[in-house]
Structure 1
Amino acid sequence: MLSLKNVYIFQASIGIFTNAFLFLFHIFTIHQDHRPKPTDVTTCHLAFVHIVMLLTALDILSADIFKSLNFPNDLKCKAWLYLSRVMRGLSICTTCLLSVIQVITISPSTFFLSRFKHKFTNYISDTFFCFWSLNLSSNSYMIIYTVANSNMTNLFNINKFCSLSSMNPIIMELFLTVALSQNVFFVGLMLLSSAYMVIFLSSHQRRSDYLHSRRVFPRTSPAKRATQTVLLLVSFFVIMYCLDIIMSSVSTILGKYDPVVLDVQRLVGNVYATVSPLVLISSDKRIVGILQSMLDMASILTSR
């Protein structure tokens, strides 16, 4: 029977491979296209964030780093935990951005956000800069309060290598408030955009039913397929995010390093990073066409 750690390593490996494939595909697409779509750039950024996030979370990787690198243990802990938290924040921000872009894309000309429809590509780099600046600054306290495990009793264990040292209650509440406000804002924006997309899909379905009653059989539009994909991603993210909060609360209540709780928390916390590229790949006709061509070529070569 596989242990939770082995399951987690398998999950992370699948996620890294699929995100790397998605990242390379969109890098090639952006390079070929003189005016890449905002969704392509955003998906590329999301895949990169998830690759780094899964790499930093791998127990086997962190263990090798802690044993092989000739850096002080405190420095290793600070870099590892800081990068991990920044990537998780960027995952939330980028998923939110993907949902907002889709809302702008499907919005009619009368909608107030439609003015950004043809200009959003010009703002995408500025948006990423703001996301990185926000997450690098809001998680900066990790650099100060993260330490390597020691015999001190006033530490909150994160894993078998690193802990958080005790801090002033006022400072702790301040950082927690900032982090919670940031997450609530982006998750709330996701929910609002999801509600708009549900309304759009319902309206589109009513029009399709009307055409169907008149014996017209319309195909599913690319906008509708893209909207369904983003809506699925956002819904799945919100569910996994809520489960991750529950598991983090359990870990905080225990107040000590528990390998089982930690492994389950990481499984839940990284499900979205593993599943999202599979959803994006399966819903992209360009990628499906390439994979189908590769399968056809392989079948021809094997039949000879």
Structure 2
Amino acid sequence: MHQLNSSSDRPLTRIKLRPGVFLDEPPADPYALHLKRVEARLPHLRPGSYFARASAALIHGLPIFHADLDRVHVVHTGGGHGRITTSGHSFTTPLRDPSVVKVDDLPVTSLARTASDMMRRTLFGPALAIADAALRLGCDRAELLDEVRGGRGCRHATEAALRATPLSESAYESLVRGHILQSGIPMPLLQHEFVDAWGLLLGRTDFFWREFGLVGEFDGAIKYDELLRPGETVADVRRREYERQRRIEGQNVRFVRWTAEDVHTPGAILASLQPFIGDHRVDHGMCPEAHDLRRPRRRG
């Protein structure tokens, strides 16, 4: 990182992190680049200010949906006015002071508050993915429910917090479960383990409907990257996954797999399950806001 007096001295390969601060050879990963922006902002953070929203979500390891990563997000608790610049978005405390912690020496809103801030500003499916991740990272459900009560987006965010589970191992698994809840599809078992007649583990599946003898799994490049073992290629992972599926299918079950395109296409998950589950539907008791495909209205 270099501090320069003139932008004319800056090669085209440098990225501006904040006024007067540039980064040589910026990382291609936008998340890693945003964390560099956070590091550049830290020495200039005034007392009573904390990284928040998308910046805090990345610091905590929460999934990000449609966030502005070109700006560092900061909340001020000591009064004053919010401000938006090309490198930062600062805002004053809404409704009540946030709970705050330090993560790797970075002052940041707490995991529960950060998850709440992000859940309120997105749809039910992404909110469920954020809540799942928060519980998986050790957040207390009661604390999360306290943070989402009242204000903008509270109803669908509360619904997500109530239905969240740490058993969901990825954001895409959570998004699939969001479609299941919204479509009235019977709820499957999560992370079900199949064993053979001798009790040996055949494999674990994302979703299993025992009553339909059906396994559902998210099947995407992101998942294959996570399953890579040292020295393996994606082709090796695909082959290993196919062998696992064949073993589980020997237990008289069928498979349906989804890609990222399916997850992002309204009605695709339901359409893929229809041949297996027929007209079986249940009322999951979801609030109307959890079915709304529009962004939450601004209410504070």
TM-score range for the pair, normalised by the shorter chain length: under 0.3
Question: TM-score if structure 1 supplies the norm length?
Answer: 0.25
Q: Provide TM-score, normalisation by structure 2.
A: 0.25
Higher RCO structure (Cα 8 Å, ≥6 apart)? 1
Q: Which protein has the bigger helix share?
A: 1
Choose between structure 1 and 2: higher strand proportion.
2
